[in-house]
Structure 1
Amino acid sequence: MKRHESLYPLSHHHHHALVMAVDMTQVGTEKEKHSYREMLRQLIDFWEKDGNQHFHDEETVLIPLYLAYGEEIDHEAVKRMLYEHAQVRGYVHQLRHSTRAMTNEMQELGQLLQDHIRFEERHLFPKVEEQIPEKYLYQANGQFMRDSYSGF
């Protein structure tokens, strides 16, 4: 899917999160690539380096621009994004502070992340790109944290 270059940092985060999310859904199954503990370490590492800041960037930079300049704002899409961000934060908190393996919750978080990323990339980002003036998209790009894996 063609993406406006100003949103590349967010889409790079999405790519890495999507790969990890697929692995999370496979924890505890015959398709498992990583043990629960390994996947938990990867999740915490990703969250601390990229995930938490990614949500912050979307919530404090991208969405305010969309709300300020959009003429046909999809309020339900914005609500869904924010609600799913809260769900992800809840899962991350629960998983990182549990003293036992929470395989089902890990799988649920993996599925939630996959659905959330696809929703943003296929539905929300196209609306944002269409309605925010290009000069503000470029200015927003300078405020997005760069991906710690690719440096983009």
Structure 2
Amino acid sequence: MKRHEGLIPLSHHHHHALVVSKSLKEIGTGKSDKTYKVILRELIDFWEKDGNEHFRDEEEVLIPLYLRFENEPDIDLIKKVLYQHAEIRGMIAAIRNNQQADHEQLNLLGYLLEEHVRLEERELFPIIEKAVPDNYLYQASGNFHKDSYSGY
């Protein structure tokens, strides 16, 4: 799927999130060669270095930009995206506060993270690309944080 250049940094962040979600989905299933502690550390590193900032990029830069230019915004989609942000934040906070999160909780987070990335890539980004003028998407890109994994 061709992505507007201004959104490519966020798509790179999404790739990083998918790598983390795959590990979370595999924990306790015998499909992973990583230990529980390694996966938990990867999750926390991802969140502290990239995930939380990525959510802020979308909430403080991208979604307001979309709402500024779209006359009839898809409010239900925006609500769903923001709800998932809150849900993921809550799950990560619970996992961080209880360093012994069970496999089921981590698996659930992995599936939710993957679902969220797919929602944004397949539904949110296409409507933003249609609504927001190119020059504003390029400007927005300059405000996104640099992902520690991809460098974007």
TM range (shorter): over 0.9
Q: TM-score, normalised by structure 2?
A: 0.97
State the alpha-carbon separation in 2 of the partners of residues 113 and 99 from structure 1. 19
State the alpha-carbon separation in 1 of the partners of residues 27 and 143 from structure 2. 35
Note the 1:7-86 alignment, pairs <5 A.
7-86=7-86
State the alpha-carbon separation in 2 of the partners of residues 34 and 89 from structure 1. 24
* Counterpart in the other structure of 2:131: 131
Q: TM-score, normalised by structure 1?
A: 0.97
Gaps of at least 5 residues in structure 2 are none
Residue identity opposite 1:111 in structure 2: Y
4+ runs deviating over 4 angstroms: none
Gaps of at least 5 residues in structure 1 are none
Aligned partners of 1:27 and 1:106 also within 8 Å: yes
Aligned partners of 2:27 and 2:106 also within 8 Å: yes
* Counterpart in the other structure of 2:115: 115
**Relative to structure 1, is the Cα distance of residues 99 and 149 closer, same or farther in structure 2, using a 3 angstrom cutoff?**
closer
CA shift, 1:99, in A, is: 4.1
CA shift, 1:102, in A, is: 1.7
CA shift, 1:32, in A, is: 2.0
SS at match of 1:84: helix
SS at match of 2:55: helix
Q: Which protein has greater RCO, CA pairs closer than 8 Å, 6+ apart?
A: 2
* Counterpart in the other structure of 1:103: 103
CA shift, 1:109, in A, is: 0.3
Deviation per CA, 1:76-124: give whole Å up to 9, x if none.
1100000000010011101111042421110000000000000100011
Residue identity opposite 1:14 in structure 2: H
CA shift, 1:36, in A, is: 1.7
Q: How many residues are aligned here?
A: 152
State the alpha-carbon separation in 1 of the partners of residues 127 and 101 from structure 2. 39
State the alpha-carbon separation in 1 of the partners of residues 91 and 13 from structure 2. 18
Aligned partners of 1:36 and 1:101 also within 8 Å: no
